[in-house]
Chains A and B, each alone.
Chain A
Amino acid sequence: MKFRIYRYDPDKDTAPYMQPFVLNHIRPGMMLRDALLEIKKIDETLSFRHSCGEGVCGSDGMNINGRNGLACITPLKGLREPVEVRPFPGMPVIRDLVVDMSGFYRQYRAVKPYLTRRDPEPEVEVLQSPEERERLDGLYECILCGCCSTACPSYWWNPDKYLGPAALLQAWRFLADSRDQAGEARLDALDGPYRLFRCHTIMSCVEVCPKALNPTRAIGQIKRLMLDKSV
């Protein structure tokens, strides 16, 4: 099976280039991550992040044949050849497929992704009804792999000012949480033309999310809540 892999070592290369590789022994059920590990046996200088190997840790997000996804849950079967593997688009490349995610994490931290309460801490857990708990479904499952934000054209143009779909999904996850008491402050922090309102419902985030989550819907719900609170 033929591959073309993005290579860039800032210490040695003046510009990035695509390096061809061929793997002759493809096992049934092999995922792209397995192939990259085989390729690393051929050329041990190939760098990419990976860890759990089963779509839980979110480390091996990359651009596969033009589409963001996790290498570990992308079956080789069905991929068009040569399989073009590139780092996330729009992100600073550290080396090969490894990108600098610090801007992405900064946007995540900006939405204060933790419960904030004014009331004194209770002796026991803060209880939720099953319905209140259900509102968090489709939100808490995010693994912060970055596939969505780095597939978003709005995030490409303004990665420093627009929070991006991943961070906004988490913003809604805490706005929707019955235990959180910082809703007003969270909404105030999201107004302005950039942080929330750069979303033009392009929906690339929804298309690529490996966990089948829907950041566009979450962003729409934030806008609706903002409207409810201001008229």
Chain B
Amino acid sequence: MSLRRASGLRAWVVQRVSAVYLLLFTPLLVGKFLFYPPPDHTAWVQWVSNRWVAIGLLLFFVALLMHAWVGVRDILIDYVHPLGARVLLLTLLAFGLLGCGFWALDIVLHAGAH
């Protein structure tokens, strides 16, 4: 990738690869909470503390946030043309998504620590 240009191919690949993970993992997650919901908080903590569940969830949040970054970045490139407004919105988006990411990380890791 040249430094002068934001990525084209890389962003597209990130979008596609994260989409595959979301496609596979989201139905599992929805199915779990529809058919086998944890009855109380302790059960939920126990479920999240499982190493494989924690890894799956963390990968899910990484995929979700990267997918959201590429998707919203695409919308901003399409519609927001003034440079200042675009940089501001991209910065807000980046901080928002990073915030969500660290929050999710904190929840999953601390559930495991209990």
Contacts and interface: CB of A to CB of B under 8 A. Distances in A.
Contacts of B2: 192
Contacts of B55: none
Contact of A223 (B1, B9, B78): B9
Contacts of A185: none
Contacts, number: 39
Contacts of A157: 78-79
A200 interface: yes
A127 interface: no
A191 B13 contact: no
A168 B7 CA distance: 18
Interface string A187-206: 00011111111101000000
How many chain B residues sit at the interface, stated as a range, is 10 to 19
B88 interface: no
B78 A197 contact: no
Contacts of A226: 9
Contacts of B11: 193, 197
Given A157-B78, A198-B77, A193 B7 contact: yes
B21 interface: no
A202 to B, nearest CB: 11
SS of A interface (majority) = loop
Contact of A191 (B5, B77, B78, B79): B5
B67 to A, nearest CB: 14
Interface of A: 154, 157-158, 190-198, 200, 223, 226-227, 230
Interface of B: 1-2, 5-9, 11-13, 74, 77-79
Given A191-B9, A192-B5, 19 more contacts: A157-B79, A158-B77, A190-B8, A191-B5, A191-B8, A192-B2, A192-B6, A192-B8, A193-B8, A194-B8, A196-B8, A197-B8, A197-B11, A197-B12, A198-B77, A198-B78, A226-B9, A227-B9, A230-B9
